[in-house]
Chains A and B, each alone.
Chain A
């Protein structure tokens, strides 16, 4: 796998070389090469998921057979129906969606504001605030799980949506990203805005926000997925089936007691279904990357 990675990296320069130079020729070899390299990248990147999908269409016997079957088989419908029924999917999808959207939106909102303050204002404790936020990255989740649970217990938030989401908003990635982005905005733009008489909030709203769409979209994707894929925290904090999320349901298909043979095909069917909403978000948000580009050029 490492060798493949290295090959990809060397290939990139070749591709970049070829991509632009021979633009006027009838057959665009450069573009073809880029296509080929991209397909190679995708083959490596997406193979695990392709394979997961393949397994989800097989019977258990086919899954363990040698040589391995690398093409879809005929058990797709029964596996998906079976997995759907075993995991109470409807409610769980809803809970996961609520959790993921709330976390993503909350994080983006609070981080945008704090990064704005840190980059564009000089105030006592500015660096302290930045490091205080940044250091939240530095303590692994399992360490503070038990004591965060205690805090939630004190607040009476066990088995509630706010207990599920708000503690996970305490994270630094988004603030850090906004800081990185604001630092790339040319000073002239701020000066121009000030000449127009724009105050700080006006500048944030009418200048920074439109410029940030690409980043917000990218961030929304990763934060949505971060929230969607949470496992330990929702496992701890939810005490009823009605509050459970899809990843917990999916984990329930995977034998963990070591006394049962895994039903690989059902596990993979569940995994594919749990994957669809995040993929939908990725596809949807991708338009915004491009939109961000267009508006940045205005």
Chain B
């Protein structure tokens, strides 16, 4: 009898084992999964994984599962496709230029509303205004700021020294940038004066905000969909025209889109560089010379001085998930907005901390004294003085009065089809820098093309 049974025994045992592994421990481990799609690669991706791990260990009910879904645009497109098939994640990370698309999608569960429903108290006033403002509609926060940065000015102290410039006195005005560049080139300290990353973001979007000039009508698009760009006005033409003139002389050296120009600064070709503050960490690890940071250069009078604007991405909660899971989502968002996580995120990635408490704690811990470069970005965005005021040198800080305030021109940009608009602007910048078009002509063309796209976006969303 035993021999007869044996052929069936192994598969039966296996089946039993299988069902035991599948069903047995399941009730014990019944953690609700929260899916979180993001676009963070390399070290940033590791930081996201670590953050999720910290949250998962902090409680036993939910498990956040981060998944990289490609680049920013790929992540957004994948989330949209998945949303239409009801296989979407709870949380998706969307870059700042996708904000208008998300706001109008009807697929979004606004963060302020989610927190209210889940009765999780959040002090929205406790966040840094320029960051929260970019993602709020009618005073309510729609998505949770996650990775925010702002462009700042980097300079090569060794090259400054070689050219006989004071390495602790970075240029303040564009005129000085030109003067210093010429000195540096003449002294053979570098091949070119300065370069830029993210051409449209740093040289067009932020330069308009920084000089309190409008980028687009309707308060940069915050007040409606029938928007037109204003970058071909006096200021835009002057600034881009000047860059083109400098490009011919080597004072400026165009280095491509996004982060393509980074190597020009890293290998010493250009001794000054304007790029996202999030690169502070990368430069700390990857640069072989002494370098420092400063606020963005300014053209001076007659232009006023406002604040710079942010870039980066936020976390959007998608509709259509059961309330029990939304609770986990809300708790995770609350977790990453909490002071310890904010500080951890800032210190480990170089992105800005966005809650005032986190910033205050960082001050008390002498963080900005030890990392003055991090202070540059924070000060520029909030209008504080460019050098660390004594009040902020650790200990109990006395309130410091901002020198500048955010204006409607510097609170951010809200445009539809913004991804393509950036592309249009950058393509025309390349035409201008290559000498194919005059600054006026190139910017006029960029505006005409962008306005067409804005019209299409308005039409598609008014249906």
**Contact flag (A, B; Cβ within 8 A):** yes
Name A residues whose Cβ lies closer than 8 Å to a Cβ of B: 60-61, 64, 66, 86, 145-146, 149-150, 152-154, 158-159, 232, 235-236, 239-241, 248, 251-263
CB distance from A95 to the nearest CB of B (A): 14
B41 touches A239 (CB 8 A): no
Smallest CB-CB separation from B277: which chain A residue? A259
Give A259 to B452 CA distance when docked, in angstroms: 30
Question: Is B71 an interface residue when CB atoms closer than 8 A count as contact?
Answer: yes
Residues of chain A with a CB closer than 8 A to B74's CB:
232, 235
* Neighbouring A residues of B147 by C-beta, 8 Å: 259
Task: Name, among A61, A255, A257, the residue most crowded by chain B CB atoms within 10 Å (CB to CB).
Answer: A257
Q: Which residues, 245 to 276 on B, are CB-close (under 8 Å) to A?
A: 258-259, 262-263, 266-267, 276
Cα distance A158–B85 in the bound complex, in angstroms: 9
Contacts of B89 in A (CB 8 A): 239
Query: Would you list which residues of chain B between 183 and 241 have a CB under 8 Å from chain A?
Result: 197-198
B72 contacts A by Cβ under 8 Å? yes
15 other A-B residue contacts (CB within 8 Å) besides A239-B35, A259-B149: A60-B285, A64-B267, A159-B87, A235-B70, A235-B74, A248-B68, A254-B42, A257-B41, A257-B44, A259-B276, A259-B312, A260-B44, A260-B278, A261-B279, A261-B283
- B45-57 Cβ-contact flags toward A at 8 Å (1 or 0): 1100000000000
24 A-B pairs (CB sep. < 8 Å): A64-B263, A150-B81, A153-B86, A158-B82, A158-B87, A235-B69, A239-B82, A241-B65, A248-B70, A251-B70, A252-B45, A253-B42, A254-B41, A256-B70, A257-B41, A257-B71, A257-B72, A257-B313, A258-B276, A259-B44, A260-B42, A260-B278, A262-B42, A263-B42
**Cross-chain contact B258 with A258 (CB below 8 angstroms):** yes
6 closest Cβ pairs, A-B complex: A153-B85, A258-B258, A259-B278, A261-B282, A258-B259, A256-B71
Once bound together, how far apart are the Cα atoms of A60 and B72, in whole Å? 26
B330 at the A interface (CB under 8 A) = no
Bound: A154/B282 CA distance, A: 44
Instruction: For the complex, give the distance between the alpha carbons of A248 and B71 in Å.
Output: 11
**Smallest beta-carbon distance B147→chain A, Å:** 8
B321 to chain A, nearest CB (A): 14
User: A259 near B259 (CB under 8 angstroms)?
Assistant: yes
Compute how far the CA of A134 lies from the CA of B458 in the bound complex, rounded to whole angstroms.
Answer: 39
Contact, CB under 8 Å: B67 / A241: yes
List chain A residues, Cβ under 8 A from B282.
Answer: 259-261
Is there a chain A Cβ closer than 8 Å to B43's Cβ?
Answer: yes
What residues of A have a CB within 8 angstroms of the CB of B279 in the complex? Answer: 259-261
Residues of A with C-beta under 8 A to B46? 86
Interfacial chain B residues near A146, Cβ < 8 Å = 77, 81
The chain B residue with its CB closest to the CB of A235 is B70
From B35, B65, B286, residue with most partner A Cβ within 10 Å: B286
A149 engages B278 (CB within 8 Å): no
Instruction: Identify which of A60, A236, A258 contacts B78 (C-beta below 8 A).
Output: A236
Chain B count of residues within 8 A CB distance of the other chain: 47
B84 in contact (CB, < 8 A): yes
Residues of B within 8 A of A66 (CB): 267
B362 within 8 A of A: no
B105 lies within 8 A of chain A by Cβ: no
Q: How far is the CB of A224 from chain B (nearest CB, A)?
A: 23
Per the bound structure, the CA–CA distance linking A258 and B69 in Å amounts to 16
The reply to whether the CB of B288 lies closer than 8 angstroms to some CB of chain A is: yes
A150 lies within 8 A of B85 (CB): yes
Closest Cβ–Cβ distance, residue A206 to chain B (whole Å): 39
Q: Mark B298-316, 1 if CB is under 8 A from A, else 0.
A: 0000000000000011000
Is B40 interfacial (CB 8 A cutoff)? Answer: yes
Would you call A239 and B67 a contact (CB within 8 A)?
A: yes
How far is it, in angstroms, between the C-alpha of A251 and the C-alpha of B40 when the chains are bound?
A: 11
If the complex has contacts A149-B85, A235-B74, are A261 and B286 also in contact, measured as CB distance less than 8 A? yes
B381 within 8 A of A: no
The reply to whether A149 and B67 form a contact with Cβ atoms under 8 Å apart is no
When distances are taken between beta carbons in the complex, the residues of chain A under 8 Å from B84 are 150, 153
Q: Is residue B39 contacting chain A, with contact meaning CB distance below 8 A?
A: yes
Chain A residue with the shortest CB-CB distance to B33: A240
Q: Who on chain B is nearest to A142 by CB?
A: B77
Question: Chain A residues with Cβ under 8 A from B85's Cβ?
Answer: 149-150, 152-154, 158
Given contacts A66-B267, A261-B279, is CB(A255)–CB(B259) below 8 Å?
yes
Alpha-carbon distance A191/B72, docked complex (angstroms): 60
Q: Which residue of A lies closest to B281 (CB)?
A: A260
Bound-complex Cα distance A149 to B285 (A) = 41
In the bound complex, CA of A86 to CA of B149 (Å): 25
Which residues does chain B contribute within 8 Å of A240, judged by CB atoms? 65, 67
A262 CA to B263 CA, complexed, in Å = 10
Q: For A236, give its contact among B35, B40, B81 (CB under 8 Å).
A: B81
Chain B 309-328 near chain A by CB (<8 Å), digits 1 or 0: 00011000000000000000
A152, A253, A260: most-surrounded residue (chain B CB, <10 A): A260
Q: Which residues of A contact B69 (CB under 8 A)?
A: 235
Cβ contacts under 8 Å, B149 to chain A = 259
What's the Cα separation between A258 and B74 when bound, in Å?
15
